[in-house]
Amino acid sequence: MTATTPTQRKYRTTNPATGELVRDYPSIDDAELESQLALAHQAFLAWRDVPLSERIALFYRVADLIEAKLPELAHQATLEMGKVLPHSMGEGMGAVDMFRYYAKNAEEILADEPIDVPGFAQAFLRREPMGVVIGIEPWNAPLYQAMRATAPNLMLGNTVMVKPAEICAGSTLMFDDIFLEAGFPAGCYQTLLATRDQIGTVIADDRVRGVTLTGSDAAGSKIGELAGRNIKPVVLELGGSDAFIVLDSANVELAAGVAATCRLLLGGQACALPKRVIVTEGIADEFTEKYVAAFASQVLGDPFDEASTIGPMSSQSAADLLQEQLDDAVSKGATVLLEGGKVDGPGFYFKPTVITGITPDMRVYREEPFGPVGMIFRVPDAEAAIELGNDSPYGLGGAVFGEDEEALRVASRLDTGGVGVNTFMGSPTEVAFGGTKRSGVGRELGRSGMDQFANLKTYAVGGAAFGF
C-alpha cells in the first residue's frame, strides 16, 4: 500500500471483500473548486433556457446510457460498497427509472397552475429554476442516491454538483462522462471531490442556491446549520429505525418473508429498511420461527459470487460499530435467536444475526443499527405496537401487516413520512420520500422532488392595480 497525504485519503476505494486498497482519488484544491463552481453557474445561465422538449430528449438519452452501462456501473458500486451484485444492478435500474419518470411526466409537473384571483384577468404559479444545487450523498447506494439528487433538479433547470462519500467516488464519477456523452452541456452535472471544509465554502457561495444531504442525523445537523446560516433551502434525508408491525390478523408467512428480505437488502445498510420488527403476541412464535429461518438461510460471501445473498459491510468501521451495538445489547440481557457478528479473516464480513428481548437501556433501542441485525419486539396488542413504533427519535417510514382495515388504522397513527400496508413501500420514484423527527426535513422524488429547489413564482396579468 502506497503512502498518501491526508487529503488524498479523503477519497479512497477499499474493496470490502478483501480489505485491499483499490484506488485513491485526490480531493480538489481551492482553485479547482472555484473552477467547478464557475462552470456550474455558467451552465445554469444557459441550461435554464433550454426548451423542455430538449431536456426531455436528453433525459431519455441518459436513461438509455445508464442502462447500457449498467454492468460496469454495478460492478463499480459493488467493488466500492460491498453489496451483492444483483442489489447494485437493481440500484442502477432505479436511476434509469428516475430519468424516464421525469422525462415522461415533466410537461405535466412543470405546467403552469392557474389560480382564480378576483380582480386579475389571469394568475398562475410557475416552477422556475434557482441555480446551482449541491448534493451531499452517502455510500450505501452511490448510483441511485447521486441521481436522486440530480434528476429532478436538472429537469427543472437547475445545475447539480454531487459530493460523494469518501469510499465510493468512483461510482459517482462515472456519471460525469455519461452526461457529456448524452449531450448535456458541460457543467450541468459534476462530481465534486471536495473536502469537508470546502463544503462550507460551497454552501456559503451565492451561486449555490440549494443543499440536499442524505446521511446521518449528525451530518444533517451540521449541514442544516450551514444552510440556515446562509439562508439556503435544504433537504435532509437522514437516519431511520423503521418499525415493521405484524398484527395477529396478518398473513404470517408473507410478513416474515418481506420483513427478512427488507432487513437484508444492501446488507441491511439503508436508512429506509425496517429495522425493528414489532409482533403482537398471538402470532409472535410462528413469525419468529419463519423470520429467523430466513436469516439463517442467507449465504454470506464474495459479493460477485452468484451464490452469495449477502456480502461484506462497507468498511471496517461500519462492522466495528455494529458489533459494538450488538455486544452492548447482549451484555444487557438481549436474547440471541441466531448467532452472528463479525467474521474473522480478510474483508469486512458480518454474519446476519437476530436478537429479541431488547430494552430501552440498550443502544440498539435508540440508535440505528446499520447492518444485518434483525430485532424482534413482542407486544400484547396493536395499541402497544403503535406506542413502541413511535417510541423512536426517527420517523422515516414503516410497514404494517394485518387485516386491511386494522392495518390502515395502525398505519395512520405512525409518526412517519411514509408507510406500507401489507407491503414494503420503500422509495418509489413517483412518490415523495422523506421523514419526520430526526429522519430529516423536506422531500425527494415525485413532484415534491422538484418543488424543494424550485422558485414557486406567481404571476398576475391584467385587471386590478393592487393585489390587496
Note if 387 is an active site residue. Answer: no
Note if 237 is an active site residue. Answer: yes
Catalytic residue among 237, 262, 368, 444: 237
Catalytic residue among 91, 188, 271, 444: 271
Cell digits of residue 95: 436511476
Q: What angle do CA 235, 237, 238 make, to 5 degrees?
A: 135
Catalytic residue positions?
237, 271
